[in-house]
């Protein structure tokens, strides 16, 4: 088999893995960056645990999920940040620009919360993520014209804020991730992950509901206004 044939076979195999509604629902749920049990994912996907187990086996074997066991519990998570980036980019491409009316008040509320603020694997997204990214650009902390890179001032900002940046790995320090609700790039990479982790640990944001949605707290509004000049009203 030629290199071209090998690549084509690999692409076809990948497409087959995500070309199933149940498996796609699991992958999207795991974009919150956490590890889920098979039972939690089965309830989320609306299928029996036995059915879900077969799907998870395919995703683990295909390299999209990593499996962890803790006692009697089996946890799965996305394999790595590159997998999350690929899934988020694909979701952004296929999500309609003008979605139809939600099916009910609960769905509408959940959709509004996700659009307002959420985690995209391990960084902030939605209007919150865009507000942070815009603030970084306006303050000269992020160079969006030269390839989405932290400036010297940006590196200093993380140091002064007490947010450590792990620069030892191969992951880019900063990269653009297309936001599927805002249709604009938000900050991802090591810097985006560090900021999101700090926002959750410091209580600037809290997770709400069973989705990836997050809500900015009163402490978070004050911190983001002081550190980035983000108007509190824009985060609600």
Per the document, the length of the chain is 236
Model pLDDT, residue 78: 92
71: Cβ–Cβ under 8 A, 6 or more apart, which residues?
none
* Ranges of the chain with pLDDT below 50: 98-108
Which residue in this structure is represented by tokens 């074997």? Answer: 61
Domain boundaries, the chain: 3-79, 102-235
CA distance 28 to 121: 9
Model pLDDT, residue 98: 45
The SS3 assignment for 172 reads coil
Model pLDDT, residue 101: 47
| Radius of gyration of the chain, Cα coordinates, nearest whole angstrom | 19
pLDDT in tens, 60-88: 999 999 998 877 778 899 998 888 888 88
Model pLDDT, residue 60: 94
Q: Name which of 124, 127, 93 is nearest 230 in CA terms.
A: 127
Q: Are 83 and 54 in contact (CB under 8 A)?
A: no
Q: Are 213 and 116 in contact (CB under 8 A)?
A: yes
Query: Which contiguous run of DSSP H or E holds residue 158?
Result: helix 152-161
**3-79 classified as CATH 1.10.10.10:** yes
Write down the number of H helices and E strands in the chain. 10, 11
């Amino acid at each position: 088999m030629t290199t071209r044939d090998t690549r084509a076979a690999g692409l076809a195999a990948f497409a087959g893995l995500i070309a199933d509604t149940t498996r796609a629902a699991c992958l999207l749920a795991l974009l919150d960056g956490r590890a889920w049990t098979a039972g939690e994912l089965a309830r989320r996907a609306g299928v029996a645990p036995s059915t879900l187990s077969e799907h998870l086996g395919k995703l683990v074997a295909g390299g999209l999920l990593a499996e962890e066991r803790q006692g009697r519990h089996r946890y799965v998570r996305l394999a790595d940040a590159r997998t999350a980036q690929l899934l988020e980019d694909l979701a952004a491409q296929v999500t309609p620009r003008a979605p139809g009316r939600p099916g009910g008040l609960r769905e509408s509320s959940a959709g509004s919360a996700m659009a307002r603020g959420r985690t995209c694997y391990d960084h902030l997204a939605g209007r919150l993520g865009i507000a942070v990214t815009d603030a970084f650009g306006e303050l000269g902390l992020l160079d969006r014209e030269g390839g989405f890179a932290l400036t010297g001032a940006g590196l200093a900002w993380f140091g002064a804020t007490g947010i450590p940046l792990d620069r030892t790995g191969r992951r880019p320090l900063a990269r653009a991730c297309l936001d599927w609700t805002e249709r604009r790039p938000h900050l991802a990479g090591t810097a985006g992950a560090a900021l999101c982790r700090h926002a959750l640990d410091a209580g600037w944001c809290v997770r709400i509901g069973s989705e990836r949605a997050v809500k900015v707290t009163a402490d978070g509004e004050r911190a983001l206004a002081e550190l980035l000049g983000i108007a509190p009203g824009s985060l609600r």
